[in-house]
Structure 1
């Protein structure tokens, strides 16, 4: 299972939110590129970025910070937030992102996801953010009646590289991930599922791994707070 350290970008800084609330952001580093270098120095093989402002604006906002990170590290980087048309997808991939994550458009324009996945094999993921099993869009600000599993199944044959599944109520709360729901999603589709939201300890990571149904896990606040040691976690997962 791959561990993805998270760098959430707001106003050019690395922050963490509590349950997706932009008014509860905590700044952890005002130099996101330096934070990225620190994660890579600890041994990570991937980075996970989110343009939080972009998720609300519907367009890239923290592009300068993302590009600084891409210039600073040599590991693959995935990005979500504000990526809602083919032009933006291709611009980011051309600038060196390994993978874009499409969330809101997966609900609003699933054909775009399919076209992008066909055009860029292995470089397009679907972001599914859910409260109580139902998908939320536009930076988690808008609720839908779409079930997370139903949305995932729509892309079963689309060629997407992964599904990033976030339990919004767990995100940033340090209360542990929703292991059962994430594993159930992983078993419901053949697409690799990456868990996001609530990872607070090494025990959480090992529990996700031991389901046998989860391909990766994203952690942010636990790494910044020191509750999870990145080097130790990578070694325990056998990815150091």
Structure 2
């Protein structure tokens, strides 16, 4: 059976306090879609979204939160549930964001370099810690995608099978921001091999990707992240959310 809850997460990527989208994770290829991220988050809430995916891009490179004020304003302006990644490398940062009202933190680089942090955080905050695995040519990239590791997404995900991690967010960097469609083959293969729910990310292009998310072969996926397709109108939010509601009702 299909999982009861299928979530479409609209994405807000923060760079210099602005809501942007990158192409293939390249900071030099950023398009500004809204100069007020809180306004963008509120628009997503009004559209009917119940969850929001936020990445502090500057924080991912710096190794610590950089766009904290923008996140604070989003939390103040909306009642939407937030999952947040970027620059979360220690327990103090995990605790700080959760105390502020972030529902779930995403640990990326530290999941490769400091797996003990993931275990500690997931144990201390059950259901509120996800792992972000961003792959380029099969290998997980870290430090804002600027550096490649020698490990595959599956190798890292298996480290946390018994750690209580809420979800794995799997991104195909080559497709991110390119509107070429999600790499369903790799994403579903990962989900079918591990026990942790997987969220698909990178390249969602149209309503067809949402339909794929709702098909039987995607049963182990918690949801998918939508970015540029929502911003430029290729994906109609009302149509996508109606499709998900209909599938849940059925």
1:217 equivalent to 2:224? Answer yes
SS at match of 1:140: coil
Question: Structure 1, residues 41-95: CA drift from partner, whole Å, max 9, x if none?
Answer: 0100100000000000000000000000011111210000000000011001000
How far the C-alpha of 1:132 sits from its partner, in A, is 1.8
Equivalent residue number for residue 207 of structure 1 = 212
Distance 2:222 2:207 in 1: 16
Alignment map for 1:83-162 (pairs within 5 Å): 83-162=88-167
Distance 1:58 1:65 in 2: 17
Aligned residues between the structures: 240
Structure 1 window deviating more from structure 2 (207-216 vs 179-188): it is 207-216
Question: Structure 1, residues 155-206: CA drift from partner, whole Å, max 9, x if none?
Answer: 0010011110010000000011100000001111111100000001010121
- Give the alignment's TM-score, normalised by structure 1: 0.98
Question: Structure 1, residues 217-236: CA drift from partner, whole Å, max 9, x if none?
Answer: 00010000000011110110
User: Where do 4+ consecutive residues of structure 1 move more than 2 Å?
Assistant: none
Equivalent residue number for residue 3 of structure 2 = none
How far the C-alpha of 1:145 sits from its partner, in A, is 1.0
Equivalent residue number for residue 60 of structure 1 = 65
Distance 1:86 1:57 in 2: 17
Distance 1:63 1:197 in 2: 24
Decide which of 16, 23, 29 is 1:11's aligned counterpart: 16
SS at match of 1:231: helix
SS at match of 1:6: strand
Question: Structure 1, residues 14-62: CA drift from partner, whole Å, max 9, x if none?
Answer: 0000000000000000000000000010100100000000000000000
Equivalent residue number for residue 232 of structure 1 = 239
- Give the alignment's TM-score, normalised by structure 2: 0.94
1:177 equivalent to 2:170? Answer no
SS at match of 1:218: strand
